[in-house]
Amino acid sequence: MVFGYLTTIADRFKRSAWVLPIPFLLTGCQHPRAQLATFSVPATNSVQFSQVTLTNRIDPTWLQPPTDAFMLGPGDKLELEILGDPTSKTTTVVGPDGKIYFNLLPGIDVWGLTLDQARAKIQSGLANT
């Protein structure tokens, strides 16, 4: 008898199980509407603007191209290559003593020289070896 009573409860639950979701489907999702913050904007005639003086102006002479040639100094990087010998291509840096070291040449002093002057000095050094 107890077993029969439990089966009838289970049958009733199965039959009414499809009825339970209906109220939830009909109500949908409800949430309070978003509340926007309100603020006041001051009238434009009450705003006082002050003049700002610019202090970061650039001297126009700084924007002109240089009239003197570039001079080599410590820390400058040079890419050197003997024409016709691609294996000789190397990048060297002018040392703190103002010298560069290339191939089998002793240190060549290039501090204060232009690129053309340094090229001529390297070529004369290679011709002497």
Q: Where are the domains of the chain?
A: 77-128
52 band by pLDDT with thresholds 50, 70 and 90 = confident
pTM of the predicted model as reported, rounded to 2 decimal places: 0.47
Q: Is 94 exposed, middle or buried (0-12, 13-18, 19+ CB in 10 A)?
A: buried
Q: Which pLDDT belongs to residue 22?
A: 60
Is the pLDDT higher at 36 or at 65? 65
Q: Lowest-confidence range among 31-45, 51-65, 77-91?
A: 31-45
State the first-to-last Cα distance of the chain, in angstroms, to the nearest integer.
119
- Which tokens belong to 66? 């240089």
Beta bridge partners of 90: 80
Distance CA 103, CA 108 (A): 11
Cβ atoms of 84 and 125 closer than 8 Å: no
98 band by pLDDT with thresholds 50, 70 and 90 = very high
Q: Which pLDDT belongs to residue 67?
A: 79
Is the pLDDT higher at 80 or at 24? 80
Cα angle 47, 51, 55; round to 5: 145
Q: Which pLDDT belongs to residue 81?
A: 87
